[in-house]
Amino acid sequence: MATPTASASLNKSVYAVGESMVLTINHSDADRQTITVSGTVTDSSGNSANWSATAKIDAGVVAFTQSGGKTWTLQSATDNQSVYTATA
Amino acid sequence: MAPTVSGTVTDSAGNTATWSASWTVGQPSGDLRWYGRTLFGQSYARYKVHTISGESGRYAAVEQDTQFNGKKGSAVVRVFGGSGGPSYAEMRPSYIRAGQPVIYSFNWPNNQAEAACKDDFRTFLRSGPTVWERVWLTHHHEPDNDWPTSLNRTWWLDTLVWMREVLDEPEFAARATQIRLCWIGTGVPFQDSTPLSSDRHWKKIIDDLTARAGGRTDIVQADGADRYNPAWDGSQRYMPWSNWAGEMINCHNYTGRPFVVGEAGSPRDDSNLSIAQKDADRAAWLDDQYQRMRDAGWFDAVSYWRVPATSDSLNAWSTNMCTPTGYNAQLSAAGKTMQNGGPDAQAVVDVHSRYCIESMSGTPAIPFYSTGLLARLKAMVRGIRRSRSTADRRHRP
């Protein structure tokens, strides 16, 4: 199992009071992949239906250990990136 | 230490990566120095009509002025409000630089009832963000100029108490940390010639405020004056620090509070020296006062009066007075003599700009104090010290 990597950056280093802060967390994992399993179901008459399902392996769970006194609200998330906002 | 947000990313096997990011609040564009030493800025407009062709134009003309080595901006800007009560939009018009501290004054109709004032003030406080930008907030511009004619002095004192009572309400705790409630008089309360018994003397104003507040001494968090060198009247040269600031120093020693100079400056003196020499002397005077205020450590903010005459603060600018050509045109057209800028006064402008720029760089040092328990304790200590100090003075020969 590979260890994930993560980095975080803010859109600015200095904020005015009340200004919006955007926190972007980039995270990746060599094991991360999306598996798709698919197949068909066939009845005795030869009629068939397709099915599929996807599963994400090691999507990575983002957690906060320290908020810096702010309430961070998730704005968007992909496999590799989570974006949060707060008010300075 | 800068605030930090940190966390982890964990995969399905429990492997973890950590991340973190830090930031600073309080120093927006221009690396503004907010706390600690004096903020130098400009007072160039009165009421809401600061326009060349519009408010933003006049603000931009001053803030974008590049006369000093191509640099620009004010660490603090004074905003004069109208007479309809406080307004957040008026205090922080959209064109003001993000985070720029302001010195804001507003008026309520004379003798407006307590409940109406408090409700109005609560509405005002709620109209801004949860955590406010820095503001030195005062009710009534130069109040001592308006009593006893158009302003009820006792009522005005009471309004400060009412504002404090509202600021102390738990709902406004976060906003209150960014507000320094103050009063800013004319220069009269701080002139040597103003008798202690005068209603306009700073000590009588402060003592009367304490009395109206039932003995509470922490109603305001700063005292202030619009303090000019009295060469204003053409009869004197430039006052030494001991005269110009003497009563401000006495006031600070009495209250232990910071001080705000809402308007500072001086016209040229009426000596027989050349214009160039008068301006050189004036620049040296300003440099001396600024340096001493900065080094005193308890002057919060100083804004420089930067227009030729009062009418130019009241009326729209027909020309950009930040340019030498525009300034001279305005000056000669109106036949004005009070000059704080213009090409002949480049030395004065340079001094002022140098302090503005300096106060916009560096590291914040001293945070605002809140109106919570700590502030109350500080006020108690100040009160004890003051009692002792007063007793000491009484026993001096």
Burial of B68 (0-12, 13-18, 19+ CB in 10 A): middle
Q: A8-67 pLDDT, tens per residue? A: 999 887 776 667 889 999 998 888 778 888 999 999 999 999 999 988 777 788 999 998
Contact B41, B301 (CB under 8 A): yes
Query: Rounded to the nearest 10 degrees, how much is the dihedral formed by the CA atoms of B92, B98, B103, B107?
Result: 10
| Residues of chain A contacting residue B10, judged by C-beta atoms under 8 Å apart | 4, 60-61, 63
User: Does B20 contact A at CB distance below 8 Å?
Assistant: yes
Query: Rounded to the nearest 10 degrees, how much is the dihedral formed by the CA atoms of B90, B96, B102, B107?
Result: -10
Most A CBs within 10 A among B1, B4, B5, B27, hence the mutation to make, goes to B5
User: What pLDDT was estimated at residue B316?
Assistant: 54
> What letter does residue B323 receive in the DSSP assignment?
S
Q: B241-259 pLDDT, tens per residue? A: 998 999 999 999 999 999 9
Exposure on the CB side of residue B316, measured as CA atoms within 13 A: 8
| Residues of chain B contacting residue A17, judged by C-beta atoms under 8 Å apart | 25-26, 99, 129, 131-134, 178
> What letter does residue B94 receive in the DSSP assignment?
T
For residue B383, the SS3 value is helix
The C-alpha atoms of residue B259 and residue B54 are separated, in whole angstroms, by 32
User: What pLDDT was estimated at residue A20?
Assistant: 82
What single-letter amino acid sits at B384? Answer: I
Strands (E), chain B: 4-10, 16-22, 24-25, 39-43, 77-80, 102-106, 135-139, 179-185, 222-228, 259-265, 299-305
pTM greater than the 0.90 cutoff: no
* Contact between chains at B16 and A3 (C-beta distance less than 8 A): yes
Contact B12, B24 (CB under 8 A): no
User: What pLDDT was estimated at residue B274?
Assistant: 79
Written as six digits, the tokens of A42 are 């066939």
Q: How far is B61 from chain A (nearest CA, A)?
A: 23
* Contact between chains at B24 and A16 (C-beta distance less than 8 A): no
| H helix or E strand, kind and range, residue A49 | strand A48-57
Contact B263, B227 (CB under 8 A): yes
Q: B301-352 pLDDT, tens per residue? A: 998 876 555 555 545 555 555 565 666 666 565 544 444 444 446 677 677 7
- CB < 8 Å & 24+ apart, contacts of B370-379: B370/B173, B370/B176, B370/B177, B371/B164, B371/B167, B371/B168, B371/B176, B371/B177, B371/B218, B371/B221, B372/B173, B375/B218, B375/B221, B376/B218, B378/B218, B378/B256, B379/B216, B379/B217, B379/B218
Neighbours of A44 (CB within 10 A): 5
